[in-house]
Amino acid sequence: MKKTQIGNTEFSWGERTYVMGILNVTPDSFSGDGVFVEKNFVQAAVAQAQRFVSEGAHILDVGGESTRPGSEPVSEAEELRRVIPVVRALSQMLQIPISVDTYKANVAREAIAAGAHCINDVWGGTKDAAMYSVAAELRAPIVLMHNSTAGQQVYQDAQLGSRFVGADSKDIVDEVSRELRSLAEAAQAHGVSPKNIILDPGFGFGKTVEQNLELVRRIDELKTLGYPILAGISRKSFVGYTLDLPPSERVEGTLAAAVLCAERGADILRVHDVQAVRRALDLTDAVVREN
């Protein structure tokens, strides 16, 4: 059984489905849960993290820039201003592993210096040429995500939010598989250890509703790549458009997607609703895992 050390925790892939709690240190999160709207945002982030820990999260993911379709990018300085105080406070107060959600190599470096243990890059290391080298130098586990948002058309609905639209003719699972393999090979070519690579198919990032549903249906095919798989399905637009519900009413849909992904072998679920998902996954694991 393959294992990855993240902070003081050893993650044994295949033994159970792990839960990653989302901490958005942003004012414009699509899910409406960003803590940067709070005057004392560090205290707000710590309180949310403590709640996630009590609800059973295995790892926390701290991000300072929204990645929803149409969101405005933030400068490196602003991202550091949001993320570093939160990471530092969490690392001093909690024992849980901390991931930093960023595609900027220097933000990753500074976050790890402040106490983070893992990098979660929604561009798979392709936006910043130094990202792979930073991960290799710091021996940090890194999540490499498939992202095809560049040049894609976005449809906006007042209630349901944004989603990507376009042709569904291509085999999305084949495309994601090929590109994730390429990202993993590129990271290793820069010195990243294979045991420190986690792959993410990138639900919602440049994919239509139908393509996202197909990824859920066939996520087990990505296991043939030989790396742990992270699935970020929480409150995503494909859930909302399938059920005709806004982000605030997508808990049940998220649970269904989480259970389906876990049953098909996903190793980590990145979610907003930690308690509900953890309970659903514990039951799923009791049925499908052979421990």
Domains for the chain: give ranges and CATH numbers: 10-288 (3.20.20.20)
Question: What's residue 153's pLDDT?
Answer: 65
Active-site residue, from 207, 236, 264, 278: 236
Is there a catalytic annotation at residue 236? yes
**Residue 87, burial from CB neighbour count under 10 angstroms (0-12, 13-18, 19+):** buried
Question: What is the distance between the alpha carbons of residues 94 and 88, in angstroms, rounded to a whole number?
Answer: 10
Question: What's residue 26's pLDDT?
Answer: 83
Is there a catalytic annotation at residue 109? no
Helix (H) or strand (E) holding 117: none
Question: What's residue 32's pLDDT?
Answer: 44
Residues with pLDDT less than 50, the chain: 29-32, 34
Do residues 228 and 267 make contact, with C-beta atoms less than 8 angstroms apart?
Answer: yes
Question: What is the distance between the alpha carbons of residues 121 and 82, in angstroms, rounded to a whole number?
Answer: 17
Question: What is the distance between the alpha carbons of residues 275 and 221, in angstroms, rounded to a whole number?
Answer: 28
Other beta carbons within 10 Å of 63 = 24
Question: What's residue 206's pLDDT?
Answer: 87
Question: What's residue 30's pLDDT?
Answer: 44
Q: What does the DSSP assignment read for 129-186?
A: TTHHHHHHHHT--EEEE----TT-EEEEETTTEEEEE----S-HHHHHHHHHHHHHHH
Beta strand pairing status for 153-157 and 161-165?
Answer: antiparallel
Question: What is the distance between the alpha carbons of residues 221 and 271, in angstroms, rounded to a whole number?
Answer: 22
Question: What's residue 41's pLDDT?
Answer: 86
DSSP-assigned beta bridge partners for residue 161: 157
Residues 6+ apart with CB under 8 A from 230: 20, 143, 145, 198, 199, 200, 266, 267, 268, 269, 270
Work out the angle between the directed axes of helices 172-189 and 131-138 (0-180°, nearest 10).
60
Beta strand pairing status for 9-12 and 3-6?
Answer: antiparallel
Locus of tokens 């379709």: 69
Question: What's residue 132's pLDDT?
Answer: 98
